[in-house]
A and B are shown apart, each in its own frame.
Chain A
Amino acid sequence: MSISTIPRLRRRRWRRAFDTLAFLAVLSGLGWLIVEGAGALHYNWQWYRIPQYLYRIEDDVFYAGPLLRGLGVTLELTGWSLLLTVFFGLAAALLQRSTSWAGHAVARIYVEIVRNTPLLVQLYLVYFILAPILGLDRFVAAVLALAIFEGAFAAEIFRAGIEAIPGGQWEAGHALGLSSPKVHRFIILPQAIRLVLPPLTGLAVSLIKHSALVSVIAVADLTTEGRNLIADTFMTFELWFTVAALYLALTTSLSLLVSWLERRLPAPSAGH
Chain B
Amino acid sequence: MPPQKLRFGWLDGLILAVGLGLVGYVFYRAQFHFHYNWNWQLIPGYFVRQDAESGKWILNLLGQGFLATVRLALWSGLLAALIGGVVGVCRVARSLFLRLISRAYVELIRNIPPLVFIFIFYFFISGQIMPLLNVEDRIAAASPETLRVLAWLFGPPELLLNFLSGLICLAMFEGAYIAEIVRAGIEAVPKGQSEAARALGMHSGQVLSEIVLPQAVEKMIPPLAGQFISLIKDSSLISLISIQELTFTGTELAVSSGRVFEVWLTVAMLYFLLCFGLARLFRGVERRLSQHRQH
Q: Which residues of B contact A208 (CB under 8 A)?
A: 113
Contact of A103 (CB < 8 Å), options: B12, B108, B124: B12
Classify chain A: how many residues form its interface, as a range. Answer: 35 or more
Are the CB atoms of B264 and A129 closer together than 8 Å?
Answer: yes
Are the CB atoms of B271 and A116 closer together than 8 Å?
Answer: yes
B112 at the interface (CB under 8 A from A): yes
Are the CB atoms of A244 and B120 closer together than 8 Å?
Answer: yes
Q: Which residues of A contact B112 (CB under 8 A)?
A: 209, 244, 247-248, 251
Are the CB atoms of B96 and A215 closer together than 8 Å?
Answer: no
Q: Which residues of A contact B234 (CB under 8 A)?
A: 118
Interface residues of A in 89-128 (CB under 8 A from B): 95, 98-104, 106, 112-113, 115-122, 124-125, 128
Q: Which residues of B contact A22 (CB under 8 A)?
A: 97
Query: How far apart sit A199 and B115, CA to CA, in the bound complex (Å)?
Result: 23
Query: How far apart sit A234 and B20, CA to CA, in the bound complex (Å)?
Result: 50
Query: How far apart sit A18 and B100, CA to CA, in the bound complex (Å)?
Result: 12
Interface segment out of the listed B26-34, B161-169, B188-196, B286-294:
B26-34
The number of residue pairs between A and B whose CB atoms lie closer than 8 Å in the complex comes to: 167
Are the CB atoms of B15 and A117 closer together than 8 Å?
Answer: no
Are the CB atoms of A101 and B97 closer together than 8 Å?
Answer: no
Chain A, residue nearest B273 (CB): A116
Are the CB atoms of B15 and A118 closer together than 8 Å?
Answer: no
Are the CB atoms of B123 and A102 closer together than 8 Å?
Answer: no
Q: Which residues of A contact B16 (CB under 8 A)?
A: 102
Interface segment out of the listed B3-11, B146-154, B198-206:
B3-11
Interface residues of B in 267-287 (CB under 8 A from A): 267-268, 271-272, 275-276, 279
A19 at the interface (CB under 8 A from B): yes
Contact of A101 (CB < 8 Å), options: B6, B104, B119: B6
Scoring A16, A40, A223, A244 by chain B CB atoms within 10 A of each residue's CB, the highest score goes to A244
Query: How far apart sit A228 and B129, CA to CA, in the bound complex (Å)?
Result: 26
Q: A124-B267, A213-B113 are in contact. List 13 more A-B contacts (CB 8 A).
A: A18-B97, A23-B100, A95-B15, A102-B11, A102-B15, A103-B12, A112-B276, A116-B271, A119-B236, A125-B268, A128-B254, A133-B33, A167-B1
